[in-house]
Amino acid sequence: MARFDYGNERQPGRLDAILAKVDRSPVFHAALAAGAAWWWVDYALQIAAAFG
């Protein structure tokens, strides 16, 4: 059976290789976790300031 290529299928490229390398980086995950933690701290401080 013939396989048709409609041109919209995702092709692996250079960006995929870079993102795969970044995703395996523990530094990236640590920075992501730190950013998320800071977001929650900032959120809690804003709520405390609104009611304080």
Question: Could you say which residues of the chain have pLDDT below 50?
Answer: none
| pLDDT (0 to 100) of residue 36 | 98
pLDDT at 17: 85
H helices present in 1-52, as ranges: 14-23, 26-51
Domain ranges of the chain: 26-52
Residues whose CB falls within 8 Å of the CB of residue 22, separated by 6 or more in sequence, listed in order: 28
Yes or no: say if 28 and 22 are a contact pair by the CB < 8 Å rule: yes
- pLDDT for 47: 97
pLDDT of residue 45: 98
